[in-house]
Amino acid sequence: MSAEGKTGRWCGCLLCRVGDEQTMKELRDGGAQGPEWEWVAAHLVDYALRVLHHQHARQTLAREANTHRRAAHLHPVVLAPEDAQALDADPAQPTALFVATCTTALDRFRRIDLLGGHWRPGGRRVPGYYVTRCYFVLGDELTTWRRARTKERKVAAAAYRLAEEDERLGGRDVVEDLRQVDPAVVGALVETMREPLREATRYRLDHPDATWAAAARALHVSPRVIEAQLRRWRRSRRREGER
Using the contact rule CB under 5 A, the part of the chain among 43-51, 138-146, 169-177, 192-200 near Zn ion is 43-51
> Binders of Zn ion among 9-28, rule CB under 5 A?
11, 13, 15-16
CB of 120 to Zn ion, least distance (A): 21
Whose Cβ is closer to Zn ion: residue 43's or residue 133's? 43
Buried b (16+ CB within 10 A) or exposed e, 36-58: bbebbbebbbbbbbbbbeebbee
* Nearest residue to 48 (alpha-carbon basis) of 142, 112, 126: 126
CB of 117 to Zn ion, least distance (A): 22
Residue 133 binds Zn ion (CB under 5 A) = no
* Nearest residue to 15 (alpha-carbon basis) of 57, 52, 56, 48: 48
Residue choice 43, 56, 69, 204 for contact with Zn ion (CB under 5 A) = 43
Q: Report the 10 Å Cβ neighbour count for 119.
A: 19
Element (H, E) at 100: helix 92-108
CB of 36 to Zn ion, least distance (A): 11
CB of 35 to Zn ion, least distance (A): 13
Q: How far is Cα 181 from Cα 201, in angstroms, rounded to an integer? A: 14
Using the contact rule CB under 5 A, the part of the chain among 28-36, 40-48, 93-101, 200-208 near Zn ion is 40-48
Binding site for Zn ion (CB under 5 A): 11, 13, 15-16, 43
